[in-house]
Amino acid sequence: MNLILFIFIVLLGFTSYYFGRKKAYTIQSTNKRLTALPQFYGYYLAIWCAIPAFIIFSLWAIFEPTIVKLLILSDYSNQGYLDDELNLIYEKTKALSRGQFTGEITPFIEASAEKYLSLRSIAQSSKAVIVLSIIIASVAYAYKKISSNSRTREPVEKFLKVVLFTASLAAILTTVGIVFSLIFQTIDFFKVIPLFDFVFGTHWYPAKAFVRDSSEALDPTMYSDTFGAVPIFAGTFFIAFIAMCVAIPIGLMSGIYLAEYASVKVRQYAKPLIEILAGIPTVVYGFFAALTVGPFLKEIGNSMGLDVSAESALAAGGVMGIMIIPFISSLSDDVITSVPQSLRDGSYAMGATKSETIKKVIFPAALPGIVGSILLGVSRAIGETMIVVMASGLAANLTLNPLESTSTITAQIVVILIGDQAFGDPKTQAAFALGMSLFLVTLCLNIVALRVVKKYREKYE
Amino acid sequence: MNKNKEQLLNKRYKAEKRFRLYGQSAIFMALLFLTIFIFKIFSTGYSAFQKTWLIVPVTFDAELMMLEQNPSKEDLKDADYYDIALKSMADLDPNANEDQENELKRMVSYFFEREIKRELLNDPSLIGKTKDVYLTASDDLDQVFKGNYPRDLPEDQRRVTDYQLKIFDQLVELGKVESKFNLSFFTYPDSREAELAGIASSFMGSIFSILVCLMIAFPVAVLAAIYLEEFAPKNRFTDFIEVNINNLAAVPSIVFGLLGLGILLAVFQLPRSTPLVGGITLSLMTLPTIIIACRASLKAVPPSIREAALAMGASKMQTTMHHTVPLSMPGTLSGTIIGLAQALGETAPLILIGMVAFVNTIPGSPLDPAASLPVQIYIWAESAERGFVEKVSACIMVLLGFLIIMNLFAQIIRHKFEKKWS
């Protein structure tokens, strides 16, 4: 129904474009000068068609559900139901009218469902009538208004500019969306669990929070030893640390070699090949870590008499390090190549070898950029999910032994939220609180890193 | 003194060589990882493209199928195939007792009934006759035939019994076991049984998500990039938008999953587990990538083009829409394809919005529940059955194949159509 209406409106838009242009041609044929190209007259009419349609559609989307709900619930108004019960009745009505209702159907609800359906169909048809009549009226008004000396290009361009501007707000809206989706759940979570317990507690057993009778009131004391995030934070930074131990030396040295030593041919082939590593989906790395690297490390460890978990932090961190190599190598490559040649020439003129020049002159000059690239790598490592979910453990151990399994923020979010979630449950809220801390940490790292890199670029440009 | 100098010089040259060696070995290591990685995936995955069939003689006994004389097409469809299917499996060993007959039945997939039915529907004249029918072998026997199964384990530690192996070996000797290209891997939806599991459902899920993502992200990103690059005044607000875009490009993907869960599912009440929600979530992720690519290619259009258009009396909007934007399209498109390739490989946000549900039907629209290729990899990798290991690798090969094709396409667009300004 909505689709048909939409298609109809689009067709109307095209028709009004055609009529607008036609009127412009008619004006032209009477030897009057137009103030804009004929198609602008068409666009002008089409906009007069689009804007009212958009406004009515959005108003309808906002108000229709509320009004229908009010009308349905007015049948129940003087029977002494509580608000929650009324909401439940409304949900049941909606489910029944969609045919998705499971459970006992009472005659009341059945009557409401029928009323709901008829109200919906009335709403739909009245929407169609209202939209179409208003559009036709507004287009007709605009059609009468345009004449040879009326301005059409300026309003059309202004409209386009508004559209462009609105699109550019999408980035801000996304950020706002992220913050909003996280913040409410997080606040609710901290109403039950004190912030102090979350940040400094050392026991993380969210599964315990699930063993709760939902009819009982929330008793904060029962969560006292459940949501201590220290093991999670420690595990996250530990695995990120292992990853950086692999990624920094290999990534940095490859970046230096590619920028300073490699011949054009080697560079031409090696650089894209290394960058393939960045294009491989993380779930593939996770499978690789869980299937190959984990058991391999376990075997090596066993042959040396060490007790290695098959889901060790080392396996997850090591594979994550491989994933981050290309980020560090290509960013540091860029940074090093943008160090001015004069610095190199100066150093060579003093008799320094190539490696001495790199170590003593180029590296210090490029250091801010390199630090920026490493910070971006760390932020990637902290936010990486699939490798940890598949290759590292899910139990939150507080350990610094790379051969044991640990868990991370991202892995815990997935563990908690996989399957069905009950909003309003402290366990679900805990995942959002973890997400909030992840967002804040990576945000800080990104801002610092981007600023450092930007400052550095300005210095040499 | 001189000797000392020479020693020092030697030392410096050695340090130089060493440093160079470190660089070479770093590159070597990175490439080695890549090679091991690709090799491992291919060596475990290639066998999934073959499927083992048992060739079993089936007697289409009209009585057992409860068929009347001269059955119509409808009768054939409704006939009972279970008994003849069971009987033909049991006939593989005439001396089998009841337990052994059960084991015989489990040598093929539970689709055996359907496979026999299809044979008869194709050729109704078979009634009363006997014909060799290809039946899908169970995933364990499939692995035995491919040589991936540890046959020397004690019997109670493996799912294939000695009896099944004995019969299977007899069949192999008689040439009644055949390996053919595994078409069902591409045409079947997901299944709990490894031998019947295919990627069709997750593939369609991926396609729908990517299409939704493209339809939302591309127009919004291009419009935003045009505004920021061509029209935006230099002020605090523009800076703020820019900082936002750069940050969004580096926000961990799982946070977008939380956004999808907390806003799209909880507030807007969109249907769970569907490619529609997945696509919207992915589009928010790819938005910054496309905006950045589009801005870069708008920036690369030389100012002389704009000046020429303006000098001819075009308005600023006309200059942009008629000249700058078309010229920037190759760069924008290749950036879009790269962004979509990233979105195609994304897993974590889709898990959070419920696209991990077990789906054994092929979705027909973005509003049907579905998985996606990377999520399918995750689901299969988490299941314990041996038969799924090669399936995971094969699924990875398909996914990597798509990513390579998309990236090549992006490269081609960039090199073929982008104008070089010099």
Tokens of B252: 């961990």
Distances (CA, A) of A105 to A73, A85, A110, A115: 17, 16, 7, 15
SS (H, E, C) chain B: CHHHHHHHHHHHHHHHHHHHHHHHHHHHHHHHHHHHHHHHHHHHHHHHHEEEEEEEEEECCCCCCCCCCCCCHHHHHHCCCHHHHHHHHHCCCCCCCHHHHHHHHCCECCCHHHHHHHHHHHCHHHCCCEEEEEEEECHHHHHHHHCCCCCCCCHHHCCCCHHHHHHHHHHHHCCCEEEEECCHHHHCCCCCCHHHCCCHHHHHHHHHHHHHHHHHHHHHHHHHHHHHHHHCCCCHHHHHHHHHHHHHHHCCHHHHHHHHHHHHHCCCCCCCCCHHHHHHHHHHHHHHHHHHHHHHHHHHCCHHHHHHHHHCCCCHHHHHHHHHHHHHHHHHHHHHHHHHHHHHCCCHHHHHCCCCCCCCCCCCCCCCCCCCHHHHHHHHHHCCCCHHHHHHHHHHHHHHHHHHHHHHHHHHHHHHHCCCCC
Q: d(Cα A44, Cα A34) in Å, to the nearest integer?
A: 14
User: Are B355 and B210 a contacting pair, CB within 8 Å?
Assistant: no
Would an 8 Å CB–CB cutoff place A183 in contact with chain B?
Answer: no
pLDDT number for residue B422 = 63
Token duo for residue B32: 């080695």
- CA dist., res. A435 & res. B187, Å (int): 38
Per the CB < 8 A criterion, the answer to whether A313 and A397 are in contact is no
A188 touches A227 (CB < 8 A): no
Residue B270 pLDDT: 85
Neighbours of A149 (CB within 10 A): 10
Nearest to B295 by CA among B223, B247, B217: B223
Q: Please indicate if any CB of chain A lies within 8 Å of the CB of B6.
A: no
Q: What distance in Å separates the CA atoms of residue A227 and residue B374, rounded to the nearest whole number?
A: 31
Q: Classify B72 as helix, strand or coil.
A: coil
Q: Determine the residue among B38, B259, B286, B375 to mutate to test chain A binding: the one whose Cβ has the most chain A Cβ atoms within 10 Å.
A: B259
**Checking phi first, is residue A36 left (phi over 0); if not, alpha (psi -120 to 50) or beta?**
beta
Q: Exposed/middle/buried for A394, CB within 10 Å: 0-12, 13-18, 19+?
A: middle
With an 8 Å Cβ cutoff, are B258 and A386 in contact? no
Structure tokens given for B359: 């789906």
The values of phi and psi at residue B177, to 5°, are -120, 130
Domain boundaries, chain B: 1-28, 53-136+138-180, 200-417
Q: Report the distance separating Cα A319 and Cα A176, nearest Å.
A: 33
What is the per-residue burial (b if ≥16 Cβ within 10 Å, else e) of B135-148?
Answer: bbbbbbbbbbbbee
Cα radius of gyration rounded to whole Å, chain B: 30
- Tell me which amino acid residue B170 is: Q
Q: Which of residues 238-257 of A touch B (CB under 8 A)?
A: 249-254, 256-257
Q: What is the DSSP string of B337-363?
A: HHHHHHHHT--HHHHHTTTTS---S--
Mutation choice for A interface testing from B261, B272, B350, B414 by most A CBs within 10 A: B261
Contacts of B24 in chain A (CB under 8 A): 257
- Round to whole Å and give the CA distance between B90 and B87: 5
Q: Is A152 helix (H, G, I), strand (E, B) or coil?
A: coil
Provide the pairing of β-strand B50-59 with B130-136: antiparallel
Q: B252 touching A, CB under 8 A?
A: yes
Confirm if B137 and B108 have CB atoms less than 8 A apart. Answer: yes
Tokens for B260, please give them. Answer: 């999808």
pLDDT in tens, chain B (422 residues): 578 888 999 999 999 999 999 999 999 999 999 999 999 888 888 888 888 888 888 888 877 777 777 777 777 777 788 888 888 888 888 887 888 888 888 888 888 888 888 888 888 888 888 888 888 888 888 888 888 777 777 877 777 888 888 888 888 888 888 888 888 889 888 888 888 888 999 999 999 999 999 999 999 999 999 999 999 998 899 988 988 898 888 899 999 999 999 888 888 888 888 999 999 999 999 999 999 999 999 999 999 999 999 999 999 999 999 999 999 999 999 999 999 999 999 999 999 988 888 888 888 888 888 889 999 999 998 887 778 888 899 999 999 999 999 999 998 998 888 777 76
Which chain B residue's Cα is nearest to A418? B352
Sequence letter at residue A352: A
Q: What contacts B10, CB < 8 A, 6 or more positions away?
A: none
Sketch the domain layout of chain A as residue ranges: 2-148, 230-460
3-state SS class at B263: helix
In percent, how much of chain A has pLDDT > 70?
93
Amino acid B255: pLDDT: 94
Query: CA-CA distance, B170 to B173, in Å (whole number)?
Result: 5
Closest CB to A170 among B16, B44, B287 = B287
For the domain B200-417, what is the CATH code? 1.10.3720.10
Nearest to B262 among A182, A386, A438 (CB): A182
Name the residue facing A287 among B228, B266, B377 (closest C-beta): B377
| C-alpha pair distances (Å), A161 with each of A139, A151, A174, A189, B332 | 21, 16, 21, 42, 20
**Distance of CA A86 to CAs A63, A74, A164, A418, B209, Å?**
19, 10, 43, 31, 37
- CB contact under 8 Å between A418 and B266, yes or no, is no
The whole-angstrom separation of Cα A416 and Cα A414 is: 5
**Tokens 């290394």 belong to residue:** A274
Sign of CA dihedral A27, A29, A31, A36: positive
Is the CB of residue B405 less than 8 Å away from at least one CB of chain A? no
Report how far residue B415's alpha carbon sits from residue A404's, in angstroms, rounded to the nearest whole number: 49
Q: What part of B 311-370 touches A (C-beta under 8 Å)?
A: 315-317, 321, 341, 344-348, 351-352, 356
Select A230-460's CATH number: 3.90.580.10, 1.10.1270.20, 3.40.630.30, 1.10.3720.10: 1.10.3720.10
Asked if the C-beta of B298 comes within 8 angstroms of chain A's C-beta atoms, the answer is no
Q: What phi-psi label fits residue B313: left (phi over 0), alpha (psi between -120 and 50 degrees) or beta? A: left
Cβ <8 Å between A376 and B288:
no
Residue among B219, B201, B108, B176 nearest A170 (CA): B219
Chain A positions touching B31 (Cβ under 8 A) are 270, 273-274
Cβ burial, residue A213 (10 Å; 0-12/13-18/19+)? exposed
Q: Residue B9 corresponds to which amino acid?
A: L
Contact A315, A392 (CB under 8 A): yes
CA–CA dist A344, A264 (Å, integer): 19
Q: Which residues pair with B52 in a beta bridge?
A: B179
CA distances from A186 to A182, A424, B58 (A): 6, 11, 63
Contact A322 B33 (CB under 8 A): yes
Are B250 and A283 within 8 A, CB to CB? Answer: no
Per-residue pLDDT at A189:
87
Query: Which two tokens mark B367?
Result: 């509003």
Q: Which residue numbers in chain A have pLDDT < 70?
A: 1, 100-103, 207-224, 420-421, 458, 460-461
DSSP secondary structure code for residue A335 in this structure: H
The token pair at B347 is 């897993």
pLDDT of residue A224: 65
Residue B272, φ and ψ in degrees, nearest 5: -65, 160
Residues in chain B: 422
Q: How far is CA A443 from the centre of its chain?
A: 13
Q: Taking CA atoms, what residue in A is nearest to B28?
A: A254
Query: Which single residue is written with the structure tokens 């008619």?
Result: A26
